[in-house]
Amino acid sequence: MPGPDASRVAVIVPVFNGAATIEACLRALQLERGVDEIIVVDDGSTDATPASLSRFEGLRVIRHSEARGAPAARNAGANATQAGILAFVDADVVVRSGTIATLVQELRRDSAAVATVGIYASSCGIPGFVSEYKNLWIRQSYLRGPRQIDWMTTACCVVRHPALAAIGYFDPSKSAATATDDIDVGRRLTAAGGKIRLVPAAEVEHRKHYSLAAFCRNEWIRSRAWTQLAWQQLGVGGVARRQSFNNIPLSFVSGMVTQGVALLGMLAGLAGARSGWWVFAVGMAVTLALHYRWLGYLVAERGVRFTVASVPVLCLDLLCCGLGLLVGTLEFTSGRTTTRQGQTPANSSIEVVTVNGAMSGAGTDRLSKDSGQRGAAPQE
């Protein structure tokens, strides 16, 4: 079988119960220039996602009979194409015009690069204070970080197919819910000698809604999982030498400690210890000082009122992440890990569907019951 065609670009979109967002995602992708194929992997959706997909021409749709998880869905899409360049876009993401072309162009410009990664736009495209806060936090953390990175986000990224195949594709045991699946593949790509570039000119809207409760739960789950991944992949020495982990700066980790101190001071004050309020005040002052760049960015982007309203959210974020850091470290040192997700059910099946005259790309014959697992490298 011939190897991947370096001149072709395939976009792979995994989706599970994404009827609310998938149509906007696909409409934007179909306007992108230089895309030869769009592959949607419906990971066992039980909502109106199949009906939404049927409204589009030119798609290749792969359907799983049961949910396998986003990493396995991405692998199924990658194993269904011989395109030499793979773009991964999440189903709740809307690419800005020219984003895919920009990422592909930057990848082809640098022969040492194996992947390029886009960033979140300043607006997430949906209403909601907490959603805007989270979106801006991610955007600012990307912008303040280095342009050469050792992690990825599959919200929108472009990868050389042979490089991804050489490391065994995505690990289905890693969970998309904890965002460890794309971080893991980024680490393995760079460990194999590849270079990953962050491209700020490539912007996307991440249309993910967060309530305050959902935001806190997300931060707790991800910080716990990311902590375990950091210890596993970097070790004590590696973690100690870094100024950041993924897009999380050291100042944020320090803020977890100072916010914890502030919380203890407040509790002591409420219990009647006058000195507790002094501890609370100092802890809060140091926390805000550690995040002056973030707060200054918010003032520039959304104004003073939005920034002031963001302070309690920042404090909750630090407390949730601090708890996740503590629990994740304790679980790692005791040999326990968080629940694995994304394994392929033994009785699941794959159906390949051609929608409204979609192009039939090479590689469909390689789809099998096992293609949700890490794929074999395409034969050169």
Does residue 254 lie within any of the structural domains?
Answer: yes
DSSP state of 339: P
**75 and 136 assigned to the same domain:** yes
**223 and 353 assigned to the same domain:** no
- Distance, in Å, from the CA atom of 269 to the CA atom of 263, rounded to the nearest integer, reads 10
Show Cβ contacts of residue 198 under 8 Å, excluding neighbours closer than 6 positions. 116, 117, 119, 142, 145, 146, 147, 148, 149
Report pLDDT for 248.
Answer: 75
42-63: burial string, b at 16+ Cβ within 10 Å, e else = bbbbeeebbebbeebeebbbbb
Does residue 162 lie within any of the structural domains?
Answer: yes
Work out the angle between the directed axes of helices 274-290 and 304-333 (0-180°, nearest 10): 100
Indicate the residue type of 354: T
**107 and 203 assigned to the same domain:** yes
**258 and 150 assigned to the same domain:** no
**237 and 351 assigned to the same domain:** no
- Reading the chain (380 residues) residue by residue, the pLDDT tens digits are 567 888 999 999 999 999 999 999 999 999 999 999 999 999 999 999 999 999 999 899 999 999 999 999 999 999 999 999 999 999 999 999 999 999 999 999 999 999 999 999 999 888 899 999 999 999 998 998 889 998 888 899 999 999 999 999 999 887 666 667 888 899 899 999 999 999 999 999 999 999 999 999 989 888 888 787 777 765 544 444 444 455 677 888 899 999 999 999 999 999 999 899 999 999 999 999 999 999 999 999 999 999 999 999 999 999 999 998 888 888 888 876 654 433 333 344 455 554 444 443 333 333 333 444 444 333 33
Domain that holds residue 80: 5-209+344-366
Does residue 73 lie within any of the structural domains?
Answer: yes
Q: Is the pTM of this model over 0.95?
A: no
Question: How far apart, in Å, are the Cα atoms of 337 and each of 173, 240, 327?
Answer: 12, 21, 10
**260 and 173 assigned to the same domain:** no
Report pLDDT for 125.
Answer: 87
Percent of the chain with pLDDT over 70: 82
**195 and 284 assigned to the same domain:** no
How many distinct structural domains can be found in the chain? 2
Report pLDDT for 181.
Answer: 81
**199 and 229 assigned to the same domain:** no
Report pLDDT for 342.
Answer: 38
